[in-house]
Amino acid sequence: MRKLIFILVLFLIGSVSAKAQKMTDLFKDIDNDTILLEFDFPELSDLVKAAQEHHAYHKMQNAQMRNFQSQIDAKKREWLDHFYIDADTRYGLYNYIFVAGNQNVPGITPVDNQFSYYVAFSVRIPLSVFTKTKHEIRALEHTIEQHRAYQQQLNDELERLVIEEYYLMYTFREQMVSFQEVMQTVRTMYLKALRDLERGYISMEALIDIGESKAKAETDFFKAKYEFFMHAEKLMALTGYKFKPQIR
C-alpha cells in the first residue's frame, strides 16, 4: 500500500512539473513591485473535483476499467457459443400395444394405430467451459475492484495536494500584500534618509541600517510573491484552470 501511494505521489509530482514547464507564464507582465488586486479561484471543492477529472492517470484508469468491463461482457456472451439446445417435433402414426390381463399368459395382444405428436429436447452444457469462463469473469471483476481502489487512493492524494497548494497560495498571497506595505514604507524611509544624510541630519551608519531594512523588506516581498506564483501555477497544473489576475 505504501509503495503504491509513493508511486502515485511521484506520478503526480512529475505530471505537475511537466505541465508547469509547458504552461505559459500568466504573471510575466507583472513587474517586481506589483501585487494582485483580484485573483478569483473557484471554491476548494470545485478545484478538488477538477483535479480528479483533469489528471491523466485518472483518465487512464477509467479507460482501463471500461476495457475490463467490455471483456467481462464478451466473456458472458462467449460461453453461450458452447451451449447447445436441440429440439425435435414430430407428428405421425404410431403403434400402441395394449396389454390386458396377466402379461405372463400367452395370448393375443391387441394393437392400435393412432396419430400423435412427438417432442424431444437435447441439451448439452460444457461444464469445463462454463467453469473456466466464470473464473475469468471473476478475475476481471477483481481487477476492476483493484483499479477502483487505485482511483480512490489517487483521488485522496489529489485532494491532499490541492488542499495543500490552495492554502499555501492564499497564505503567501497575504504575506505578499503585508510585505509590500512594509517594503513601501521602508523605501520611503530610505529616500528620506538619503536627503537627511546630505543635510547632515543623520550619519552614514544610520543610512546603512535603513538600507539593510529596505533590502530585507524587498527580499521578504519578492520571496512571498514567488511562492504565491509557484503555488498558483501548481494549482492550475493540477486542476486545468487558467486565470488571468487583475493587477495594480
User: Following DSSP, what letter does each residue of the chain receive, concatenated?
Assistant: -HHHHHHHHHHHHHHHHHHHHHS--TTTTS-TT--EEE-----HHHHHHHHHHH-HHHHHHHHHHHHHHHHHHHHHHHGGGG-EEEEEEEEEEEEEE---S-TTS--PPPEEEEEEEEEEEEEE--HHHHHHHHHHHHHHHHHHHHHHHHHHHHHHHHHHHHHHHHHHHHHHHHHHHHHHHHHHHHHHHHHHHHHHHHTTSS-HHHHHHHHHHHHHHHHHHHHHHHHHHHHHHHHHHHH------EE-
**Domains identified in the chain, total number:** 2
Whether 245 shows a pLDDT value over 90: the answer reads no
In percent, how much of the chain has pLDDT > 70? Answer: 59
Q: Round the average pLDDT of the chain to a whole number and report it.
A: 73
Asked if residue 114 and residue 230 are part of one domain, the reply reads no
90 and 45 share one domain: no
Asked if residue 106 is part of any domain, the answer here is yes
- 47 and 160: one domain? yes
**130 assigned to some structural domain:** no
Task: Specify whether 116 is located in the same domain as 168.
Answer: no
147 found inside a domain: no
Looking at the domain assignment, is residue 191 inside a domain? yes
Q: Are residues 214 and 160 located together in one domain of the fold?
A: yes
**Is 99 within a domain?**
yes
Domain limit, last residue, from 73, 101, 124: 124
Highest mean pLDDT among 110-119, 152-161, 209-218: 209-218
The verdict on 110 and 220 lying in the same domain is no
Tell me the average pLDDT across 79-87: 60
Q: What distance in Å separates the CA atoms of residue 158 and residue 167, rounded to the nearest whole number?
A: 14
| Domain membership of residue 117 as a residue range | 84-124
Do 169 and 238 belong to one domain?
yes
Residue 66 lies in a domain: no
pTM of the full structure: 0.60
32 and 90 part of one domain: no
Looking at the structure, tell me whether residues 189 and 228 fall in a common domain.
Answer: yes
Q: What is the pLDDT of residue 183?
A: 92
Both 172 and 223 in one domain: the answer is: yes
Mean pLDDT of 27-48: 69
Q: How far is CA 209 from CA 67, 152, 204, in A?
A: 69, 55, 9
User: Same structural domain for residues 173 and 215?
Assistant: yes
Classify residue 228: in a domain, yes or no. yes
pLDDT of 36-45, one tens digit each? 556 677 888 9
62 located within any domain: no
Pair (234, 170) in one structural domain: yes
